[in-house]
A and B are shown apart, each in its own frame.
Chain A
Amino acid sequence: MPLIEIDNLHVTFGKGRDAVRAVRGVSVSVAACESFGLVGESGSGKSTILRAICGLAPVTGGNIRINGVPMPKRRTKAFSKRIQMVFQDPYAALHPKRSVDATLAEPLAIHGIAGRDERVVRAMHDVGLDPRFRFRYPHQLSGGQRQRVVIARALMLEPEILLLDEPTSALDASVQAEVLNLLARLRVERSLTYLMVSHDLAVIDHMCDRLAVMQNGQVVEQLDRAALANDGAVEPYTRALFRASEHDTMGRVFPE
């Protein structure tokens, strides 16, 4: 049985002439310990799917089941301990009046987990944040530093499922490599399951076993890593993305 089952999901925002059918009949399933990628056009509904899993989007049809159990209507404490999301928009995801320390400690307090200081320090270390940032507020951090706070917070509760929305888009290559290595290592060590969105096909390929390609609210293609590498994509959008990304890696600036 898949760990995450999304079955004919529909999400519609607003109504009347401004109704947006952001997700239109998407079915995806992710096995336990699998890492699944979502790619697709900007505005195609990727973030909306992740938000729907967290109960943060107006689902108008279909089902989402975790381990065979339909999602609770409201997010329960037990649910958030199991599933955590790294939001695409780090600024919006962080409380402006809460320091890094308070942000990271909050989930521990809610769930009555001990070892606060030690866990906060370790989480910061894990995402490559210098300890001197511990008592800073979001506006006192750079874009990439904020993104790392959001990732660290999602890891605090040691969830079994991580929904990652463009987790490294604001990071330079060296910090991105550190974060991707951390995520890959944690997945093995803690048997985690990832559902990950990225606009960077190379990042998805590095992290994920399978991927789905979205366009206009629908999944237009699902393929595994081998198919991607062997030029097995069929949809024109996937092919364009692949060709452009391939060109990207071919054009190495420094010869090896």
Chain B
Amino acid sequence: MSLLEVETLRVAFDTEAGPVEAVRGISFAVDRERVAIVGESGSGKSVTGRSILRLVRPPGRVAADRMHFDGQDLLALSERRMRAIRGQRIAMVMQDPKFALNPVMTIGDQMTEGLRYRDGMSRRKARSIAIEMLAAVQIRDGERVMRAYPHEMSGGMGQRVMIAMMLIPDPDLLIADEPTSALDVTVQAEILAILDDLVKQRGMGLIFISHDLRLVSRFCDRVLVMYRGKIVERLDANHLERAQHPYTRGLLNCLPSIGGDRGALPVLNRDAAWAE
């Protein structure tokens, strides 16, 4: 039995213009490993992550044949039990970290809230854990950042604060939605090393949502490729060259490279049949 098992997950939203099928029957399992979800903008990656944590609100509709986490049926849990799992056992680093953080609460209060009120830790102890975590994500002026509000963070700092915050409770499963999209390669490497360590040393499961196929090929174990709400391909991360799907194969050609000729970059001609 895997840590997380998802069978035939469907998510639809009712909009004024009619229903939008964001996720169209996907199945996957995650163990104590690094699983990547890649795919085009709008393909359903974030919605998939959010539905695992029951964060899709009406008029969004989530249905699945089965959704089990560590032996518990996530579909049947009461809202109260779900709250206990959310953030504690399954944490999610949101794609828009500044939006996900509480704008009127200092970073320090948000980071230490759980430690103090749930774990009953002293203010001092909680603070020192939070500052240590900020240092781990390469935030040097942790003291100042603890006193600051989310809007006072740079883009990349907000991302790192969110990662630090989600790692404090030591979750069994981390869903990281584009966690390093605002970070340059040098800081990115440090963050990935932390995540790697948590998977290898502490047996955390990691769902790494990213649009960066190259990054994922180096960092993850397995890759799920989504296209228009479906998983169209499943690959071993170190064998992406075996990709069959034209979307996956076309993706890497679109990237610019240093010293390139600066001509128009190749783009994908999407085929309606890919979505089938």
8 A Cβ contacts from B235-276 to A: 240-241, 243, 247, 249-260, 262, 264-268
Asked if B240 and A199 make an inter-chain contact with CB atoms under 8 angstroms apart, the answer reads: no
Asked if B189 and A174 make an inter-chain contact with CB atoms under 8 angstroms apart, the answer reads: no
B184 lies within 8 A of chain A by Cβ: yes
- Chain B residue at smallest Cβ distance from A132: B17
Indicate which residue in B46, B152, B249, B259 contacts A143 across the interface (CB closer than 8 Å). B46
Asked if A88 and B155 make an inter-chain contact with CB atoms under 8 angstroms apart, the answer reads: yes
Asked if B254 and A248 make an inter-chain contact with CB atoms under 8 angstroms apart, the answer reads: no
Give the CA-CA distance A177 to B262 in the complex, in Å: 11
B78 lies within 8 A of chain A by Cβ: no
Asked if A205 and B259 make an inter-chain contact with CB atoms under 8 angstroms apart, the answer reads: yes
Contact partners of A135 in chain B: CB under 8 A: 16-17
Asked if B187 and A42 make an inter-chain contact with CB atoms under 8 angstroms apart, the answer reads: yes
A47 to chain B, nearest CB (A): 6
B125 to chain A, nearest CB (A): 23
Asked if B96 and A142 make an inter-chain contact with CB atoms under 8 angstroms apart, the answer reads: no
- Given A18-B144, A142-B46, A245-B185: A170 and B155 interface contact (C-beta under 8 Å): no
Give the CA-CA distance A166 to B265 in the complex, in Å: 18
8 A Cβ contacts from B169-223 to A: 178, 181-187, 189, 211-214, 217-218
A121 lies within 8 A of chain B by Cβ: no
B87 to chain A, nearest CB (A): 21
Looking at A112-120, A150-158, A178-186, the stretch in contact with chain B turns out to be A178-186
Contact partners of A43 in chain B: CB under 8 A: 139, 154, 156-157
Indicate which residue in A171, A244, A249 contacts B189 across the interface (CB closer than 8 Å). A244
A144 lies within 8 A of chain B by Cβ: yes
Contact partners of B252 in chain A: CB under 8 A: 173, 252-254
- Given A140-B15, A142-B46: A18 and B254 interface contact (C-beta under 8 Å): no
- Given A89-B96, A89-B98, A170-B181: A253 and B256 interface contact (C-beta under 8 Å): no
A57 to chain B, nearest CB (A): 12
Q: Could you mark each residue 1-31 of chain A with 1 if its beta carbon is under 8 Å from any beta carbon of chain B, else 0?
A: 0000000000001100110100000000000
Contact partners of B214 in chain A: CB under 8 A: 248, 251, 253
Q: What total of chain B residues lie within 8 Å of the partner, measured CB to CB?
A: 67
- Given A41-B184, A91-B98, A252-B252: A172 and B211 interface contact (C-beta under 8 Å): yes
B10 lies within 8 A of chain A by Cβ: no
Q: Could you mark each residue 233-256 of chain A with 1 if its beta carbon is under 8 Å from any beta carbon of chain B, else 0?
A: 000010011101110110111110
Indicate which residue in A42, A175, A240 contacts B183 across the interface (CB closer than 8 Å). A42
Asked if A177 and B254 make an inter-chain contact with CB atoms under 8 angstroms apart, the answer reads: yes
Asked if B95 and A143 make an inter-chain contact with CB atoms under 8 angstroms apart, the answer reads: yes
Chain A interface residue bracket vs B: 35 or more
B127 lies within 8 A of chain A by Cβ: no
B192 to chain A, nearest CB (A): 12
Asked if B213 and A253 make an inter-chain contact with CB atoms under 8 angstroms apart, the answer reads: yes
A26 to chain B, nearest CB (A): 15
A108 lies within 8 A of chain B by Cβ: no
Asked if A144 and B264 make an inter-chain contact with CB atoms under 8 angstroms apart, the answer reads: no
Asked if B95 and A170 make an inter-chain contact with CB atoms under 8 angstroms apart, the answer reads: yes
Asked if A254 and B40 make an inter-chain contact with CB atoms under 8 angstroms apart, the answer reads: no
B66 lies within 8 A of chain A by Cβ: no
Give the CA-CA distance A20 to B145 in the complex, in Å: 10
Indicate which residue in A144, A172, A255 contacts B241 across the interface (CB closer than 8 Å). A255
Asked if B260 and A143 make an inter-chain contact with CB atoms under 8 angstroms apart, the answer reads: no
Q: Could you mark each residue 133-149 of chain A with 1 if its beta carbon is under 8 Å from any beta carbon of chain B, else 0?
A: 00110001111110010
Contact partners of B265 in chain A: CB under 8 A: 177, 180-181, 206
Give the CA-CA distance A136 to B18 in the complex, in Å: 11
If A241-B186, A245-B258 are given as contacts, then 8 extra A-B residue pairs at C-beta distance below 8 Å, sorted by A number, are A18-B147, A42-B156, A88-B155, A135-B17, A166-B182, A206-B265, A241-B185, A248-B214
Q: Give the B-binding residues of A (Cβ under 8 A).
A: 13-14, 17-18, 20, 39, 41-43, 46-47, 88-92, 132, 135-136, 140-145, 148, 165-166, 169-178, 180-181, 184-185, 199-203, 205-206, 228-229, 237, 240-242, 244-246, 248-249, 251-255
Task: Give me the 6 closest cross-chain CB pairs, A-B, nearest first.
Answer: A144-B41, A42-B156, A206-B256, A172-B211, A177-B265, A244-B185
